[in-house]
Amino acid sequence: MGLSGCRIISNPRDDLHAANRQKAMTNQDTIFQKLQPVSKKTRVVSALKEAILSGALQSGDQIVEGKLAQQLGVGQGLIREALIELEHQGFVQRSPFSWTQVTRFTNEDAEQIFEIRIEVEPLAFTLAGQKISREQIAELWDLVAKAKQGAASQQLDVFFENHLAYRRKVWELSGNRFLKEALERLVAPLYAIYLMRADFNREGLFQTIQDCIIHQEETLRAFEGGNSQEASRIVRNFLQQMKDSLGSRLLPTKAKQ
């Protein structure tokens, strides 16, 4: 009988192995996601931030996307993404399709921000305190601990990163996205200014840091006690104190002499 007349009987083991291979491939499709090309963007953000914090780029300096892309050997789109991230962090100010510059802030600018912030941010703490869980309070305590570690080791970037993360967590917990977005735009540049002026008036800066830590701990104790109005009052008083001391704490030492 020729081969055409033969009935081919499959091996059950082969079928099982094939099924297992197919299942493994299917599982990998769900386990592994496409890798995002974020490494270059991260390096660009770090390079620009370092240039700003070191003083190589000064407050008010213009940043030209095309020129910077050529200098760093990356695409202009990647530069734009990095600048958007830095704007989110408060290090640059952007006008779409017009210009980007290193954040320029005067004490008058900061005072105007605080005038709004004093009225708005306590509301976020009131709303967050009304719905916050024990687990979320624990998350906030963890951020406070990290901020304290940064302060103790005089790593200002670590302190301000975690202090701002604490505020952002509270804004998120408020449940009001419009309030969160408004505070993001208002507050982030202030934290960048503290870092950009880290070489000036360090005594005042570190006193501010200690005040920040104390007020964070007080608001958390109010949250733990279920008193959202007390948390709001603590925040309002702290922000008013910060506004009143701007001239003595934010001005560079040379400018006060």
What domains lie within the chain, and their CATH numbers? 39-102 (1.10.10.10), 107-256 (1.20.120.530)
Contacts of 118 (CB under 8 A, 6+ apart): 236, 239, 240, 243
Could you tell me what percent of the chain has a pLDDT over 90? 35
pLDDT at 237 over 90: yes
User: Given the structure tokens 């190589």, which residue do they identify?
Assistant: 56
Q: Give, in order, the Cα–Cα distances in Å from 38 to each of 34, 35, 45, 56, 88.
A: 12, 9, 11, 25, 17
Comparing 59-68, 95-104, 150-159, 237-246, which segment has the lowest mean pLDDT?
95-104
Q: State the burial class of residue 207 (Cβ atoms within 10 Å of its Cβ: 0-12, 13-18, 19+).
A: middle
Residue 79 has pLDDT above 80, yes or no: yes
- The segment with the largest mean pLDDT, out of 16-25, 60-69, 100-109, 214-223, is 214-223
Q: Which of 192, 212, 199 is nearest to 109 (CA)?
A: 192
Measure the CA–CA gap between 218 and 230, rounded to whole angstroms.
Answer: 9
C-alpha span between 211 and 237 (Å, rounded): 11
Q: What is the mean pLDDT of residues 30-59?
A: 71
Percent of the chain with pLDDT over 70: 77
pLDDT at 221: 97
Highest mean pLDDT among 29-43, 84-98, 125-139: 125-139
Residue 53's pLDDT is: 73
Helices (H), the chain: 12-31, 39-54, 65-72, 76-89, 107-129, 134-152, 156-173, 177-196, 202-224, 228-244, 246-249, 253-256
pLDDT at residue 46 greater than cutoff 90: no
